[in-house]
Structure 1
């Protein structure tokens, strides 16, 4: 058994070749320097175009990778074709081993996907975890394989749409696949399960959540006495600060 992320799969064949140039993000400052532009809308549009391309299954940068800002009414001093042309130039600089332009892990993963890797000779079964939160590049890598495939995920737990994630569990390729539903949990009891089911039902879920954990209880107002320890979950940092104060 071998457990790896998609980026780890890409590392051995591509990532290590760019190890000395890897950064955590594609920075606007680097793009501005490379394009010799002080038009920050132009620079940001190039950044978004490159990101969109690296999250797509396409072999080259196209007009559809340009962000929607180019389709709006914002006054601009550049065209979509100019953005595509400049993005292509930066992409070729990124993949050039002799260049010094910074690269990111998503670029290495994109190169791995473009190489059309075959994993069937290494693995009998591929278990694709968190399948609801993978981008189209990872989809393409997985769905190209001819080995047995098991996918695990929960559409209700998708949190990376802002990074191009698409729910692979609903891919047309899986229309005839066998599906099993993990509806029982030992993490909570019936009360929490009922609340969870009510909330998920509002989002169209029809399968009943079943709590198999210890007996639990829901409080509308938490009593000040009798609870020496309590945990407060917040959706935002501001919520955490507000609870602490």
Structure 2
């Protein structure tokens, strides 16, 4: 009886919509989609859901490091709060620890012996668009639209981007490896997050294709339940190659919920 009273006290602040999610019989074969409007308590809902899954191991993938650090203070001990980049770094990124940095157009212009700085900018953008994608090789479609309108030979630009990507991967090269670069390398290894029974992906509306692909591939093992949460009406990082995964997941999700009340 005291245990029941404690549970009621913990749920007293939940809305009916939140309680429906927390009390749902979610299993490792499910793909759950939670469309949460701004200010409706999506993070607290995920925390309560993690508590309800106390006998399971949960991976909570946060959008940035600050959110992950904050979540570690409030989520239960069965939950590992990480960014997708921290997962990649723990297995791949460490190899490039000494050369992780950002790509500077003037440095790349000199390294690739390009005649104009804007060619270096387009070359870098081509690599970045490739890194966000699930493609195996840099292609014309990764080149920025502005390049074609400037009359630049796209095939030559593709070659420049491919050379740059090779230099980034070369541990003996001074060309920096970016955070999205080692994420791409890790993703291509088809990582299995078998240590977790459930994966929560926060801010799903702003995830990029390579991150979504890594998470979705866990479903192939049929031992990891997936919970995607976000707001279909908010997507603020499209410039970083993000897609609105919430829309893509509508057809394949097994359970759908909406948070509308604050």
- Distance, in Å, in 1 between the alignment partners of 2:185 and 2:133 is 12
**What's the counterpart of residue 160 of structure 1?**
237
User: Does residue 69 of the first structure (1) align with residue 154 of the second (2)?
Assistant: no
Q: Which one of the candidate residues 110, 115, 127 is aligned to 1:33?
A: 110
User: Does residue 115 of the first structure (1) align with residue 192 of the second (2)?
Assistant: no
TM-score by length of structure 2 reads 0.65
Is the alpha carbon distance of 1:176 and 1:63 closer, same or farther for their aligned partners in structure 2, counting shifts above 3 Å? same
1:77-106 CA deviation, whole Å, 9 max, x = no partner? x41111111111111111112222112101
**What's the counterpart of residue 124 of structure 1?**
197
User: Does residue 9 of the first structure (1) align with residue 9 of the second (2)?
Assistant: no
Displacement over 6 Å in runs of 4+: none
Is the alpha carbon distance of 1:174 and 1:4 closer, same or farther for their aligned partners in structure 2, counting shifts above 3 Å? farther
**What's the counterpart of residue 47 of structure 1?**
124
Kindly state the Cα deviation for residue 70 of structure 1 after the two structures are TM-superposed. Answer: 3.1
Instruction: Give the SS at the match of 2:200.
Output: strand
| 2:106–2:117 Cα contact (<8 Å) kept | no
> Is 159-168 or 171-180 further displaced after alignment?
171-180
1:98-148 CA deviation, whole Å, 9 max, x = no partner? 2221121010111111111011x2100111111111111101111111211
Q: Could you say which structure has the greater relative contact order, defined with CA pairs below 8 angstroms and 6 or more residues apart? A: 2
TM-score by length of structure 1 reads 0.70
Query: 5+ residue gaps in structure 2?
Result: 1-78
> Is 169-178 or 7-16 further displaced after alignment?
169-178
Superposed CA RMSD in Å reads: 1.5
**What's the counterpart of residue 240 of structure 1?**
none
1:30-49 CA deviation, whole Å, 9 max, x = no partner? 21121112312211110110
Instruction: Give the SS at the match of 2:81.
Output: coil
| 2:167–2:175 Cα contact (<8 Å) kept | yes
Instruction: Give the SS at the match of 1:165.
Output: coil
- Distance, in Å, in 2 between the alignment partners of 1:172 and 1:125 is 17
| 2:85–2:183 Cα contact (<8 Å) kept | yes
**What's the counterpart of residue 98 of structure 1?**
172
- Distance, in Å, in 1 between the alignment partners of 2:249 and 2:98 is 40
Which protein is bigger by CA-based radius of gyration? 1
Instruction: Give the SS at the match of 1:18.
Output: helix
Instruction: Give the SS at the match of 1:42.
Output: helix
- Structure with the largest fraction of strand: 2
* Paired residues for 1:87-236 under 5 Å: 87-119=161-193, 121-146=194-219, 147-171=224-248, 174-185=251-262
Instruction: Give the SS at the match of 2:128.
Output: helix
Query: 5+ residue gaps in structure 1?
Result: 186-245
1:31-71 CA deviation, whole Å, 9 max, x = no partner? 11211123122111101101110111001101111111233
